[in-house]
Amino acid sequence: MEPQTEAFTELDIHLSIGQARTDIDDLDLGIIRLLRMRRAVSQRIQRTRLRADGPQIDPGREDDIARVYRSHFGDSGDDVAAAVLRACRS
């Protein structure tokens, strides 16, 4: 392979990874925005239960949520659900 062609290919790869990383950064900001909105709603529910002298946590509901994440991400869905639920605790 010609050195020039190889250099161009490397630049091409570098640019395309850079663009993809910009896309990922934008997507992460969207996920963070959604997660903050989710946390606000979740904390409202948790506080309502606590004010009524109920438990903060509803394990049955958390199992249902984990099942949904598992159906989308397989075994790692459990970890994703656990992280989401943890981030949304009061």
Ligand X SMILES: O=C(O)C(=O)C[C@]1(C(=O)O)C=C[C@@H](O)C=C1
> Would you tell me which residues interact with ligand X (CB under 6 A)?
42, 45-46, 57-58, 61-62, 65, 85, 88
Write down the least CB distance from residue 72 to ligand X, Å. Answer: 16
Which is closer to ligand X, CB of 82 or CB of 85? 85
Write down the least CB distance from residue 6 to ligand X, Å. Answer: 51
Which is closer to ligand X, CB of 12 or CB of 62? 62
Which is closer to ligand X, CB of 21 or CB of 67? 67
End-to-end Cα spacing for the chain: 59
Write down the least CB distance from residue 65 to ligand X, Å. Answer: 5
What is the residue type of 71? S
Tokens of 27: 């997507």
Query: Does residue 90 contact residue 47 with C-beta atoms inside 8 Å?
Result: yes
Give 55's DSSP letter.
-
Tokens of 74: 């397989």
